[in-house]
């Protein structure tokens, strides 16, 4: 399993505490291998499918983690990761995660991870993992959001994203980057990311063609290889965790997450029929 993550770098007196929290969380989830510290806004996008998984044994594809940590009062920190993987491994166990940790006043911290996994061949085991975790500690008037979206779809052969699909992904990446300066609260950001994730899913379903063949020769994505049960040809999962310094009214914001010092996590590895739309899971702790 090859893991990489994008991290918004913490600063100041609480940096060590936040770093320990993040690493401890990822260790507990079995997702620690290598850290890449980045700037407060970072996006990785592979418009064409990464050919990281040749046919054979072992885990399929790269794991992907977006981590945002914030200890600066009055600041906004975003960490965004968008990834497409093509794999033909025997075991499909790609993990996609978003982790947001905040310890500040009047601040916003957002981690967003989107991953598309295009699976060709006949894998023996399909156990992808998708999760989101938001955590506040010593926070006052802080908004923290972690949102993770993972789409696993079977294809008949090695594929690439079409030109239209690449342009759509580039536009979606730009939309994700502009959210940082949008002035939206985390609930409005969540709604925007839900929409963007839905468009990303449509690209994975409809804008792929086999490598080296005309587009018209390719069957509809999601055709069932013999190793896939009928109900797992396309798996769409989404996890969201929000954390604010005060509980909000259930009527106004049913997806409001943890209060200070409490974490919420939504690990998922579910599957749904090819026609399924992304399902979302959000934990609430009043």
Global pTM value: 0.67
Helix or strand or coil: residue 185?
coil
Tell me the angle at which helices 163-178 and 186-206 cross, rounded to the nearest 10 degrees.
170
- Cα separation of 59 and 199, whole Å? 27
Alpha carbon distance 47, 49 (integer Å)? 7
Residue 36, beta-bridge partner list: 6
Whole-number Å distance between alpha carbons of 182 and 166: 24
The whole-number pLDDT of residue 256 equals 29
CB-based contact 88:126 (threshold 8 Å): no
Higher pLDDT, 174 or 215: 174
Average confidence score pLDDT of the chain: 68
Are 179 and 143 in contact, with CB atoms under 8 Å apart? Answer: no
Give the Cα-Cα-Cα angle 200, 128, 278 (nearest 5 degrees). Answer: 35
pLDDT tens per residue across span 183-237: 999 999 999 999 999 999 999 999 999 987 554 433 333 333 323 333 233 445 5
Contact 27, 61 (CB under 8 A): no
With CA atoms as reference, report the closest residue to 122 among 99, 154, 169: 154
Strands 108-119 and 129-136 turn out to be: unpaired
35 closest CA partner among 19, 21, 50: 19
CA distance linking residue 234 with residue 215, whole number of Å: 21
- Of 238, 249, 248, 284, the closest CA to residue 264 belongs to 284
The Cα 41–Cα 110 span in angstroms is: 10
Q: Check: CB of residue 44 under 8 Å from CB of residue 81.
A: yes
pLDDT of residue 26: 59
| pLDDT tens string 54-80 | 333 344 446 888 999 999 999 999 999
Residue 108 has pLDDT above 90, yes or no: yes
State how beta strands 125-126 and 76-92 pair: parallel
Q: pLDDT at position 121, please? A: 87
Write the DSSP symbol of residue 181: G
């Amino acid at each position: 399993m090859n893991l990489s993550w994008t991290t918004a770098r913490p600063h100041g007196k609480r940096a060590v505490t936040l770093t320990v929290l993040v690493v401890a969380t990822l260790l507990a989830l079995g997702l620690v291998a290598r850290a890449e510290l980045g700037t407060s806004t970072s996006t990785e996008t592979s418009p064409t499918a990464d050919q990281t998984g040749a046919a054979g044994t072992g885990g399929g594809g790269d794991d992907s983690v977006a981590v945002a940590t914030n200890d600066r009062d009055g600041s906004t920190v975003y960490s965004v990761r968008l990834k497409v993987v093509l794999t033909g491994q025997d075991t499909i166990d790609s993990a996609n995660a978003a982790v947001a940790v905040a310890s500040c006043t009047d601040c916003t911290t957002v981690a967003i991870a989107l991953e598309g996994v295009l699976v060709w061949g006949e894998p023996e085991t399909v156990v992808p993992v998708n999760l989101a975790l938001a955590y506040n500690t010593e926070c006052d008037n802080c908004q923290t959001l972690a949102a993770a979206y993972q789409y696993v779809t079977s294809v008949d052969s090695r594929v690439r994203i079409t030109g239209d699909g690449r342009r759509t992904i580039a536009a979606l990446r730009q939309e994700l980057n502009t959210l940082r300066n949008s002035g939206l609260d985390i609930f409005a950001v969540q709604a925007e990311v839900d929409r963007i994730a839905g468009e990303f899913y449509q690209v994975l379903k409809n804008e792929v063609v086999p490598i080296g063949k005309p587009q018209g020769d390719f069957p509809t994505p999601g055709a069932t290889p013999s190793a896939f049960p009928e109900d797992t040809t396309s798996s769409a999962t989404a996890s969201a965790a929000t954390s604010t310094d005060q509980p909000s009214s259930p009527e106004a914001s049913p997806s409001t997450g943890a209060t200070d010092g409490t974490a919420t996590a939504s690990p998922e590895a579910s599957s749904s029929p090819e026609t399924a739309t992304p399902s979302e899971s959000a934990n609430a702790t009043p």
